[in-house]
Chains A and B, each alone.
Chain A
Amino acid sequence: MSITGLKKRIVPKLLIKHRQMGRSVRPVLVTTQGYDKVVEIGDAVSQAKIYQAQMADELVVLNIDGTPIGDDPVMLGLIERLAAETFMPLAVGGGVRTIDDFHQLLETGADKVSINSQAVESPLLITEAARRFGAQCVVVSIDFRIDEGGVPRVHTGGARKRTDIDAVEFARRVADLGAGEILLTDADRDGRGEGLNYDVCARIADSVSIPVILSGGCGRAEHFIEGFKLGHAEAVSAGTFFAFRDQNPIQARAHVRNAGIPIRMET
Protein backbone atom coordinates (compact mmCIF):
# COMPACT_ATOMS: atom_id res chain seq x y z
CA MET A 1 0.00 0.00 0.00
CA SER A 2 1.18 3.48 -0.85
CA ILE A 3 2.35 5.67 2.04
CA THR A 4 -0.17 8.34 1.11
CA GLY A 5 -3.48 8.12 -0.67
CA LEU A 6 -3.18 11.74 -1.76
CA LYS A 7 -3.98 12.33 -5.44
CA LYS A 8 -2.25 14.61 -7.91
CA ARG A 9 -4.40 17.59 -8.88
CA ILE A 10 -5.45 19.15 -12.18
CA VAL A 11 -6.19 22.80 -11.53
CA PRO A 12 -7.72 25.12 -14.14
CA LYS A 13 -6.61 28.72 -13.77
CA LEU A 14 -9.01 31.62 -14.28
CA LEU A 15 -7.29 34.92 -15.09
CA ILE A 16 -9.54 37.91 -14.48
CA LYS A 17 -9.42 41.46 -15.81
CA HIS A 18 -11.76 44.35 -15.09
CA ARG A 19 -13.70 45.74 -18.02
CA GLN A 20 -15.91 48.76 -18.26
CA MET A 21 -19.27 47.80 -19.73
CA GLY A 22 -21.56 50.79 -20.00
CA ARG A 23 -21.71 52.27 -16.52
CA SER A 24 -20.58 49.18 -14.65
CA VAL A 25 -17.27 47.40 -14.31
CA ARG A 26 -17.40 43.65 -14.78
CA PRO A 27 -14.90 40.85 -14.35
CA VAL A 28 -13.93 39.16 -17.61
CA LEU A 29 -12.11 35.88 -18.05
CA VAL A 30 -8.97 36.17 -20.19
CA THR A 31 -5.89 34.22 -21.18
CA THR A 32 -2.42 35.65 -21.60
CA GLN A 33 0.74 34.79 -23.45
CA GLY A 34 4.00 35.60 -21.72
CA TYR A 35 1.86 37.58 -19.25
CA ASP A 36 1.40 40.07 -22.00
CA LYS A 37 -0.88 39.40 -24.93
CA VAL A 38 -4.39 39.33 -23.44
CA VAL A 39 -7.32 37.54 -25.07
CA GLU A 40 -10.85 37.77 -23.67
CA ILE A 41 -12.73 34.52 -23.29
CA GLY A 42 -15.97 35.20 -21.49
CA ASP A 43 -17.65 34.63 -18.18
CA ALA A 44 -15.63 33.19 -15.30
CA VAL A 45 -18.59 31.70 -13.39
CA SER A 46 -19.93 29.79 -16.40
CA GLN A 47 -16.45 28.51 -17.15
CA ALA A 48 -15.93 27.46 -13.51
CA LYS A 49 -19.17 25.48 -13.58
CA ILE A 50 -18.03 23.69 -16.72
CA TYR A 51 -14.71 22.86 -15.05
CA GLN A 52 -16.57 21.51 -12.03
CA ALA A 53 -18.66 19.26 -14.26
CA GLN A 54 -15.40 18.10 -15.84
CA MET A 55 -14.01 17.10 -12.44
CA ALA A 56 -11.39 19.78 -12.01
CA ASP A 57 -9.78 19.25 -8.60
CA GLU A 58 -9.51 22.90 -7.62
CA LEU A 59 -9.58 26.36 -9.21
CA VAL A 60 -7.02 29.14 -9.14
CA VAL A 61 -8.51 32.61 -9.66
CA LEU A 62 -6.10 35.49 -10.26
CA ASN A 63 -6.87 39.19 -10.55
CA ILE A 64 -4.26 40.11 -13.13
CA ASP A 65 -5.02 43.84 -12.91
CA GLY A 66 -3.51 43.70 -9.42
CA THR A 67 -6.07 46.16 -7.98
CA PRO A 68 -6.14 46.01 -4.15
CA ILE A 69 -8.40 42.97 -3.98
CA GLY A 70 -9.68 43.33 -0.41
CA ASP A 71 -11.49 46.55 -1.41
CA ASP A 72 -12.40 45.53 -4.91
CA PRO A 73 -16.15 44.91 -5.22
CA VAL A 74 -15.75 43.45 -8.70
CA MET A 75 -13.36 40.72 -7.57
CA LEU A 76 -15.12 40.09 -4.25
CA GLY A 77 -18.45 39.82 -6.05
CA LEU A 78 -16.94 37.30 -8.44
CA ILE A 79 -15.45 35.19 -5.62
CA GLU A 80 -18.79 35.21 -3.84
CA ARG A 81 -20.56 33.94 -6.95
CA LEU A 82 -17.91 31.29 -7.62
CA ALA A 83 -18.25 30.03 -4.04
CA ALA A 84 -22.03 30.00 -4.30
CA GLU A 85 -22.21 28.21 -7.63
CA THR A 86 -19.42 25.63 -7.37
CA PHE A 87 -18.50 23.16 -4.64
CA MET A 88 -14.80 23.01 -5.20
CA PRO A 89 -11.75 24.60 -3.58
CA LEU A 90 -10.86 28.12 -4.66
CA ALA A 91 -7.39 29.64 -4.40
CA VAL A 92 -7.57 33.39 -5.00
CA GLY A 93 -4.87 35.98 -5.58
CA GLY A 94 -3.73 39.11 -7.39
CA GLY A 95 -3.53 42.35 -5.41
CA VAL A 96 -3.30 40.78 -1.94
CA ARG A 97 -1.31 43.11 0.30
CA THR A 98 -2.49 42.85 3.90
CA ILE A 99 -3.82 40.50 6.56
CA ASP A 100 -7.17 42.24 6.08
CA ASP A 101 -7.14 41.20 2.42
CA PHE A 102 -6.67 37.57 3.53
CA HIS A 103 -9.53 37.93 5.97
CA GLN A 104 -11.80 39.54 3.39
CA LEU A 105 -11.14 36.89 0.74
CA LEU A 106 -11.55 33.96 3.14
CA GLU A 107 -14.82 35.43 4.42
CA THR A 108 -16.05 35.92 0.87
CA GLY A 109 -15.51 32.31 -0.16
CA ALA A 110 -11.84 31.73 -0.97
CA ASP A 111 -10.29 28.67 0.64
CA LYS A 112 -6.72 29.72 0.00
CA VAL A 113 -5.16 33.08 -0.67
CA SER A 114 -2.15 33.57 -2.88
CA ILE A 115 0.38 36.37 -2.61
CA ASN A 116 2.98 37.26 -5.18
CA SER A 117 4.69 40.70 -5.19
CA GLN A 118 3.97 41.16 -1.51
CA ALA A 119 5.82 37.95 -0.65
CA VAL A 120 8.94 39.65 -2.02
CA GLU A 121 8.26 43.10 -0.61
CA SER A 122 7.08 42.12 2.88
CA PRO A 123 7.81 38.43 3.44
CA LEU A 124 6.71 38.56 7.06
CA LEU A 125 3.12 38.75 5.79
CA ILE A 126 3.53 35.03 5.03
CA THR A 127 4.35 34.23 8.65
CA GLU A 128 1.63 36.43 10.04
CA ALA A 129 -1.05 35.01 7.71
CA ALA A 130 0.03 31.43 8.49
CA ARG A 131 -0.15 32.07 12.21
CA ARG A 132 -3.55 33.70 11.96
CA PHE A 133 -5.28 31.56 9.30
CA GLY A 134 -3.12 28.41 9.22
CA ALA A 135 -0.38 27.55 6.72
CA GLN A 136 -2.83 25.50 4.67
CA CYS A 137 -4.45 28.62 3.24
CA VAL A 138 -1.29 30.60 2.46
CA VAL A 139 -0.13 30.11 -1.12
CA VAL A 140 2.94 31.95 -2.38
CA SER A 141 2.80 32.50 -6.11
CA ILE A 142 6.26 32.71 -7.66
CA ASP A 143 6.64 33.99 -11.22
CA PHE A 144 10.04 33.55 -12.76
CA ARG A 145 11.91 33.98 -16.04
CA ILE A 146 15.16 32.23 -16.91
CA ASP A 147 17.97 34.78 -17.28
CA GLU A 148 20.94 34.75 -19.70
CA GLY A 149 22.92 32.66 -17.25
CA GLY A 150 20.15 30.05 -16.96
CA VAL A 151 19.10 31.15 -13.47
CA PRO A 152 15.35 31.33 -12.72
CA ARG A 153 14.85 34.91 -11.49
CA VAL A 154 11.78 35.91 -9.49
CA HIS A 155 9.63 38.55 -11.21
CA THR A 156 6.90 40.59 -9.54
CA GLY A 157 4.11 42.91 -10.66
CA GLY A 158 2.61 40.49 -13.17
CA ALA A 159 6.13 39.26 -14.09
CA ARG A 160 7.05 42.73 -15.41
CA LYS A 161 9.54 43.61 -12.71
CA ARG A 162 12.72 41.60 -12.55
CA THR A 163 14.42 40.95 -9.23
CA ASP A 164 17.83 39.42 -8.53
CA ILE A 165 16.28 36.70 -6.43
CA ASP A 166 16.88 33.08 -7.43
CA ALA A 167 13.45 31.37 -7.54
CA VAL A 168 14.79 28.17 -5.96
CA GLU A 169 16.28 30.02 -3.00
CA PHE A 170 13.14 32.14 -2.69
CA ALA A 171 10.92 29.05 -2.61
CA ARG A 172 12.99 27.63 0.23
CA ARG A 173 12.71 30.90 2.09
CA VAL A 174 8.93 31.25 1.79
CA ALA A 175 8.52 27.62 2.93
CA ASP A 176 10.61 28.44 6.02
CA LEU A 177 8.48 31.54 6.63
CA GLY A 178 5.38 29.37 6.85
CA ALA A 179 3.84 29.20 3.37
CA GLY A 180 1.57 26.19 2.88
CA GLU A 181 1.91 25.84 -0.88
CA ILE A 182 3.81 27.29 -3.84
CA LEU A 183 2.21 28.21 -7.17
CA LEU A 184 5.15 28.26 -9.58
CA THR A 185 4.87 29.84 -13.03
CA ASP A 186 7.43 30.22 -15.78
CA ALA A 187 6.25 33.55 -17.24
CA ASP A 188 8.07 33.03 -20.56
CA ARG A 189 6.28 29.75 -21.12
CA ASP A 190 2.86 31.15 -20.13
CA GLY A 191 0.21 30.58 -22.80
CA ARG A 192 2.60 29.04 -25.37
CA GLY A 193 1.59 25.41 -24.98
CA GLU A 194 5.16 24.22 -25.50
CA GLY A 195 5.53 22.44 -22.17
CA LEU A 196 6.09 23.16 -18.50
CA ASN A 197 9.40 24.05 -16.89
CA TYR A 198 9.65 20.81 -14.96
CA ASP A 199 13.39 21.28 -14.33
CA VAL A 200 12.96 24.32 -12.12
CA CYS A 201 9.90 22.75 -10.52
CA ALA A 202 11.77 19.58 -9.57
CA ARG A 203 14.62 21.61 -8.06
CA ILE A 204 12.09 23.48 -5.92
CA ALA A 205 9.86 20.52 -5.05
CA ASP A 206 12.93 18.54 -3.98
CA SER A 207 14.13 21.27 -1.64
CA VAL A 208 10.86 22.09 0.17
CA SER A 209 8.39 19.83 1.99
CA ILE A 210 5.27 21.81 1.04
CA PRO A 211 3.28 21.06 -2.13
CA VAL A 212 4.14 22.81 -5.42
CA ILE A 213 1.59 23.65 -8.12
CA LEU A 214 3.31 24.05 -11.51
CA SER A 215 1.94 26.20 -14.31
CA GLY A 216 2.94 27.94 -17.51
CA GLY A 217 3.12 26.07 -20.79
CA CYS A 218 0.63 23.18 -20.85
CA GLY A 219 -0.24 22.47 -24.47
CA ARG A 220 -0.74 18.71 -24.50
CA ALA A 221 -2.00 16.16 -22.00
CA GLU A 222 1.55 14.72 -21.82
CA HIS A 223 2.71 17.98 -20.30
CA PHE A 224 0.65 17.24 -17.18
CA ILE A 225 2.38 13.89 -16.89
CA GLU A 226 5.77 15.60 -17.21
CA GLY A 227 4.80 18.07 -14.50
CA PHE A 228 3.97 15.25 -12.09
CA LYS A 229 6.66 12.73 -13.03
CA LEU A 230 9.59 14.97 -13.91
CA GLY A 231 8.62 18.16 -12.05
CA HIS A 232 7.55 16.36 -8.85
CA ALA A 233 4.61 18.76 -8.72
CA GLU A 234 1.60 17.92 -6.57
CA ALA A 235 -0.66 19.83 -8.94
CA VAL A 236 -0.51 21.21 -12.47
CA SER A 237 -2.41 24.34 -13.33
CA ALA A 238 -3.41 25.48 -16.81
CA GLY A 239 -5.40 28.39 -18.19
CA THR A 240 -5.03 28.70 -21.95
CA PHE A 241 -4.87 24.93 -22.48
CA PHE A 242 -8.37 24.38 -21.10
CA ALA A 243 -9.86 27.63 -22.33
CA PHE A 244 -9.31 27.30 -26.06
CA ARG A 245 -8.40 23.83 -27.13
CA ASP A 246 -10.62 20.93 -27.65
CA GLN A 247 -9.17 19.78 -24.35
CA ASN A 248 -10.70 19.49 -20.94
CA PRO A 249 -9.87 18.24 -17.45
CA ILE A 250 -11.61 14.90 -18.11
CA GLN A 251 -9.28 14.08 -20.99
CA ALA A 252 -6.22 15.30 -19.12
CA ARG A 253 -7.27 13.15 -16.16
CA ALA A 254 -7.57 10.03 -18.33
CA HIS A 255 -4.06 10.57 -19.74
CA VAL A 256 -2.62 11.09 -16.27
CA ARG A 257 -4.32 7.99 -14.92
CA ASN A 258 -3.13 5.88 -17.85
CA ALA A 259 0.42 6.97 -17.03
CA GLY A 260 0.01 5.33 -13.61
CA ILE A 261 -0.20 8.59 -11.66
CA PRO A 262 -2.67 8.62 -8.73
CA ILE A 263 -5.61 10.85 -9.54
CA ARG A 264 -9.08 11.25 -8.11
CA MET A 265 -11.63 8.56 -8.78
CA GLU A 266 -15.05 9.28 -10.24
CA THR A 267 -17.87 9.58 -7.77
Chain B
Amino acid sequence: MSAGTHRVVGLVDYKAGNVQSIENSFSHVGAEVVRVKTADDIARCTHVVLPGVGAFGFCAEKLAATSLAPALAAGALARQRPLLAICVGMQLLADGSDESPGVAGLGWVGGQVKRFAGGPGVRVPHVGWNTVRFAHGWGDFPAGSSADFYFDHSFAYGVPRLGRAVGLCQHGQEFSAVIQRDNITAVQFHPEKSQTAGLRMIEGFLRQ
Protein backbone atom coordinates (compact mmCIF):
# COMPACT_ATOMS: atom_id res chain seq x y z
CA MET B 1 0.00 0.00 0.00
CA SER B 2 1.43 3.36 -0.89
CA ALA B 3 2.15 5.72 1.96
CA GLY B 4 -0.55 8.23 2.71
CA THR B 5 -3.40 6.15 1.27
CA HIS B 6 -5.86 5.60 4.05
CA ARG B 7 -7.90 2.44 3.75
CA VAL B 8 -10.92 1.80 5.92
CA VAL B 9 -11.85 -1.85 5.77
CA GLY B 10 -15.36 -2.77 6.82
CA LEU B 11 -15.41 -6.27 8.24
CA VAL B 12 -18.94 -7.63 8.07
CA ASP B 13 -19.61 -8.80 11.61
CA TYR B 14 -22.52 -11.20 11.47
CA LYS B 15 -21.41 -13.67 14.12
CA ALA B 16 -20.32 -16.37 11.71
CA GLY B 17 -16.81 -17.29 12.62
CA ASN B 18 -13.46 -15.95 13.53
CA VAL B 19 -13.17 -12.35 12.33
CA GLN B 20 -10.37 -11.49 14.75
CA SER B 21 -7.67 -13.11 12.61
CA ILE B 22 -8.92 -11.27 9.53
CA GLU B 23 -8.93 -8.00 11.43
CA ASN B 24 -5.37 -8.65 12.65
CA SER B 25 -4.06 -9.34 9.15
CA PHE B 26 -5.54 -6.15 7.68
CA SER B 27 -4.27 -4.09 10.61
CA HIS B 28 -0.85 -5.65 10.10
CA VAL B 29 -0.58 -4.15 6.59
CA GLY B 30 -1.66 -0.74 7.82
CA ALA B 31 -5.40 -0.58 7.14
CA GLU B 32 -7.95 0.73 9.59
CA VAL B 33 -10.50 -1.98 10.32
CA VAL B 34 -14.04 -1.37 11.49
CA ARG B 35 -16.66 -3.99 12.21
CA VAL B 36 -19.75 -3.15 10.18
CA LYS B 37 -23.25 -3.94 11.31
CA THR B 38 -25.36 -1.38 9.40
CA ALA B 39 -25.56 0.14 5.91
CA ASP B 40 -24.30 3.43 7.37
CA ASP B 41 -21.21 1.68 8.68
CA ILE B 42 -20.52 0.41 5.15
CA ALA B 43 -20.84 3.90 3.67
CA ARG B 44 -17.76 4.95 5.71
CA CYS B 45 -15.54 2.22 4.28
CA THR B 46 -13.26 2.12 1.27
CA HIS B 47 -13.22 -1.70 1.21
CA VAL B 48 -15.47 -4.43 2.58
CA VAL B 49 -14.64 -7.97 3.72
CA LEU B 50 -17.27 -10.71 3.98
CA PRO B 51 -15.94 -13.58 6.13
CA GLY B 52 -17.73 -16.83 6.94
CA VAL B 53 -16.99 -20.05 8.76
CA GLY B 54 -19.45 -22.84 9.42
CA ALA B 55 -22.32 -24.36 7.54
CA PHE B 56 -23.65 -22.52 4.47
CA GLY B 57 -27.23 -22.41 5.79
CA PHE B 58 -26.12 -21.07 9.17
CA CYS B 59 -24.05 -18.27 7.60
CA ALA B 60 -26.79 -17.39 5.08
CA GLU B 61 -29.33 -17.12 7.87
CA LYS B 62 -27.03 -14.97 10.02
CA LEU B 63 -26.24 -12.66 7.11
CA ALA B 64 -29.92 -12.32 6.20
CA ALA B 65 -30.64 -11.29 9.79
CA THR B 66 -28.35 -8.25 9.38
CA SER B 67 -30.20 -6.85 6.30
CA LEU B 68 -26.77 -5.78 5.00
CA ALA B 69 -27.00 -7.54 1.63
CA PRO B 70 -28.48 -4.58 -0.36
CA ALA B 71 -25.81 -2.18 0.92
CA LEU B 72 -23.06 -4.72 0.17
CA ALA B 73 -24.47 -5.28 -3.31
CA ALA B 74 -24.77 -1.58 -4.04
CA GLY B 75 -21.16 -1.01 -3.01
CA ALA B 76 -19.57 -4.00 -4.70
CA LEU B 77 -21.62 -4.41 -7.88
CA ALA B 78 -21.85 -0.71 -8.69
CA ARG B 79 -18.02 -0.76 -8.78
CA GLN B 80 -17.55 1.71 -5.96
CA ARG B 81 -16.20 -0.38 -3.20
CA PRO B 82 -14.10 -3.53 -3.52
CA LEU B 83 -15.46 -6.56 -1.68
CA LEU B 84 -13.36 -9.54 -0.57
CA ALA B 85 -15.36 -12.64 0.33
CA ILE B 86 -13.50 -15.34 2.25
CA CYS B 87 -14.24 -19.10 2.54
CA VAL B 88 -17.97 -19.55 3.30
CA GLY B 89 -18.26 -15.81 2.57
CA MET B 90 -17.25 -16.77 -0.98
CA GLN B 91 -19.74 -19.61 -1.09
CA LEU B 92 -22.55 -17.24 -0.05
CA LEU B 93 -22.10 -15.47 -3.40
CA ALA B 94 -23.35 -18.62 -5.18
CA ASP B 95 -26.97 -19.41 -5.99
CA GLY B 96 -26.92 -22.19 -3.41
CA SER B 97 -24.93 -24.99 -1.80
CA ASP B 98 -25.45 -28.74 -1.57
CA GLU B 99 -24.54 -28.32 2.11
CA SER B 100 -27.86 -26.61 2.85
CA PRO B 101 -30.42 -27.49 0.17
CA GLY B 102 -33.24 -24.97 -0.20
CA VAL B 103 -31.23 -22.07 1.25
CA ALA B 104 -30.67 -19.32 -1.30
CA GLY B 105 -27.26 -17.70 -1.68
CA LEU B 106 -26.76 -14.08 -2.73
CA GLY B 107 -26.34 -15.09 -6.39
CA TRP B 108 -23.84 -12.32 -7.17
CA VAL B 109 -21.43 -14.81 -8.67
CA GLY B 110 -23.97 -17.57 -9.09
CA GLY B 111 -23.41 -21.26 -9.64
CA GLN B 112 -23.75 -24.09 -7.19
CA VAL B 113 -21.37 -25.02 -4.35
CA LYS B 114 -20.80 -28.79 -4.10
CA ARG B 115 -19.13 -31.23 -1.73
CA PHE B 116 -15.75 -32.62 -2.80
CA ALA B 117 -16.24 -36.08 -4.28
CA GLY B 118 -13.12 -37.34 -2.46
CA GLY B 119 -11.71 -40.81 -3.23
CA PRO B 120 -8.38 -42.61 -2.92
CA GLY B 121 -5.70 -40.08 -2.02
CA VAL B 122 -8.25 -37.27 -1.84
CA ARG B 123 -9.37 -36.72 1.75
CA VAL B 124 -12.33 -34.55 2.73
CA PRO B 125 -12.30 -32.01 4.40
CA HIS B 126 -9.64 -30.43 2.19
CA VAL B 127 -7.31 -29.19 4.93
CA GLY B 128 -3.92 -27.62 4.46
CA TRP B 129 -1.79 -25.83 1.91
CA ASN B 130 -2.57 -26.25 -1.76
CA THR B 131 -1.26 -24.57 -4.88
CA VAL B 132 -3.38 -21.95 -6.60
CA ARG B 133 -2.60 -21.37 -10.27
CA PHE B 134 -3.54 -17.92 -11.46
CA ALA B 135 -5.22 -18.33 -14.86
CA HIS B 136 -5.56 -14.54 -14.95
CA GLY B 137 -3.42 -11.97 -13.24
CA TRP B 138 -4.69 -10.69 -9.90
CA GLY B 139 -2.95 -8.04 -7.76
CA ASP B 140 0.75 -8.74 -8.06
CA PHE B 141 0.16 -12.43 -8.91
CA PRO B 142 0.80 -12.53 -12.68
CA ALA B 143 -1.20 -14.77 -15.03
CA GLY B 144 0.45 -18.19 -15.09
CA SER B 145 2.01 -17.84 -11.64
CA SER B 146 1.30 -20.07 -8.65
CA ALA B 147 1.31 -19.70 -4.88
CA ASP B 148 0.37 -21.90 -1.92
CA PHE B 149 -2.51 -20.93 0.36
CA TYR B 150 -4.18 -22.48 3.40
CA PHE B 151 -7.57 -24.16 2.87
CA ASP B 152 -9.99 -25.73 5.36
CA HIS B 153 -13.33 -26.75 3.79
CA SER B 154 -15.46 -29.63 2.49
CA PHE B 155 -17.50 -27.77 -0.14
CA ALA B 156 -16.28 -25.80 -3.14
CA TYR B 157 -17.18 -23.86 -6.24
CA GLY B 158 -16.95 -25.47 -9.63
CA VAL B 159 -17.41 -22.71 -12.16
CA PRO B 160 -18.99 -19.32 -11.46
CA ARG B 161 -22.07 -18.37 -13.48
CA LEU B 162 -21.02 -14.70 -13.50
CA GLY B 163 -17.50 -13.29 -13.45
CA ARG B 164 -14.52 -15.61 -13.92
CA ALA B 165 -12.32 -18.06 -12.10
CA VAL B 166 -9.03 -16.23 -11.67
CA GLY B 167 -7.30 -18.85 -9.51
CA LEU B 168 -7.72 -22.61 -9.86
CA CYS B 169 -6.84 -25.46 -7.52
CA GLN B 170 -6.81 -29.30 -7.68
CA HIS B 171 -8.25 -31.65 -5.09
CA GLY B 172 -9.53 -34.71 -6.91
CA GLN B 173 -11.21 -32.22 -9.20
CA GLU B 174 -10.48 -28.70 -10.33
CA PHE B 175 -12.24 -26.01 -8.32
CA SER B 176 -12.29 -22.22 -8.20
CA ALA B 177 -9.99 -20.85 -5.52
CA VAL B 178 -10.27 -17.21 -6.60
CA ILE B 179 -13.26 -15.75 -8.46
CA GLN B 180 -13.56 -12.19 -9.66
CA ARG B 181 -16.60 -10.29 -10.83
CA ASP B 182 -16.39 -6.52 -11.17
CA ASN B 183 -15.31 -5.22 -7.76
CA ILE B 184 -15.85 -8.55 -6.04
CA THR B 185 -12.98 -10.93 -5.29
CA ALA B 186 -13.91 -14.21 -3.65
CA VAL B 187 -11.33 -16.63 -2.22
CA GLN B 188 -11.91 -20.15 -0.95
CA PHE B 189 -8.69 -20.23 1.09
CA HIS B 190 -7.84 -18.18 4.18
CA PRO B 191 -5.53 -15.30 3.21
CA GLU B 192 -5.37 -14.30 6.89
CA LYS B 193 -3.81 -17.70 7.68
CA SER B 194 -1.60 -17.99 4.62
CA GLN B 195 1.45 -16.15 5.92
CA THR B 196 3.40 -14.28 3.21
CA ALA B 197 1.22 -15.31 0.24
CA GLY B 198 -1.89 -14.35 2.20
CA LEU B 199 -0.56 -10.92 3.11
CA ARG B 200 0.30 -10.34 -0.56
CA MET B 201 -3.30 -11.11 -1.42
CA ILE B 202 -4.58 -8.72 1.24
CA GLU B 203 -2.27 -5.95 0.06
CA GLY B 204 -3.42 -6.56 -3.53
CA PHE B 205 -7.02 -6.18 -2.44
CA LEU B 206 -6.26 -2.93 -0.61
CA ARG B 207 -4.64 -1.51 -3.76
CA GLN B 208 -7.92 -1.96 -5.67
> Which residues of A have CB within 8 Å of B190?
89, 111
Asked if B18 and A111 sit within 8 Å, CB to CB, the answer is yes
A57 at the interface (CB under 8 A from B): yes
B122 at the interface (CB under 8 A from A): yes
* Interface positions of B from 135 to 186, Cβ below 8 Å from A: 146-148, 150-154, 169-172
Considering only CB atoms, which chain B residue lies closest to A107 in the complex? B18
Asked if B193 and A57 sit within 8 Å, CB to CB, the answer is no
| Contact of A3 with B196 at beta-carbon distance under 8 Å, contacts A106-B17, A180-B154 already known | no
Bound Cα distance from A83 to B147, whole angstroms: 23
CB distance from B9 to the nearest CB of A (A): 16
Chain A facing B: main interface SS: loop
B80 at the interface (CB under 8 A from A): no
Bound Cα distance from A132 to B16, whole angstroms: 10
| Contact of A52 with B148 at beta-carbon distance under 8 Å, contacts A2-B170, A210-B124 already known | no
Considering only CB atoms, which chain A residue lies closest to B99 in the complex? A134
Asked if B195 and A52 sit within 8 Å, CB to CB, the answer is yes
| Contact of A87 with B192 at beta-carbon distance under 8 Å, contacts A107-B18, A234-B127, A235-B128 already known | yes
Bound Cα distance from A180 to B163, whole angstroms: 31
> Which residues of A have CB within 8 Å of B127?
136, 180-181, 211, 234
Contact with A along B110-121 (1 / 0, CB 8 A): 000000001101
Bound Cα distance from A55 to B21, whole angstroms: 18
Asked if B171 and A209 sit within 8 Å, CB to CB, the answer is no
- Contact partner of A181 (CB less than 8 A), chosen from B20, B21, B125, B192, is B125
- Contact partner of B18 (CB less than 8 A), chosen from A109, A180, A267, is A109
Asked if A267 and B197 sit within 8 Å, CB to CB, the answer is yes
- Contact partner of B123 (CB less than 8 A), chosen from A9, A210, A265, is A210
- Contact partner of A7 (CB less than 8 A), chosen from B28, B148, B172, B194, is B148
- Contact partner of A111 (CB less than 8 A), chosen from B121, B170, B193, is B193
Q: How many residues of B contact A (CB 8 A)?
A: 47
Considering only CB atoms, which chain B residue lies closest to A131 in the complex? B55
Asked if A211 and B125 sit within 8 Å, CB to CB, the answer is yes
CB distance from A266 to the nearest CB of B (A): 9
CB distance from B120 to the nearest CB of A (A): 8
CB distance from A125 to the nearest CB of B (A): 16
Contact with B along A79-95 (1 / 0, CB 8 A): 01001100111000000
Contact with B along A1-26 (1 / 0, CB 8 A): 11111111100000000000000000
B204 at the interface (CB under 8 A from A): no
Interface positions of B (Cβ within 8 A of A): 17-18, 20-21, 24-25, 28, 53-55, 58, 88, 118-119, 121-131, 146-148, 150-154, 169-172, 190, 192-200
Interface positions of A (Cβ within 8 A of B): 1-9, 52, 55, 57-58, 80, 83-84, 87-89, 106-112, 131-137, 180-181, 209-211, 234-235, 264-265, 267
What are 5 of the A-B contact pairs (CB < 8 Å)? A6-B171, A7-B130, A87-B24, A136-B125, A180-B154
**Further contacts, 4 of them, CB under 8 A, given A234-B127, A267-B196:** A83-B21, A89-B150, A107-B18, A133-B54
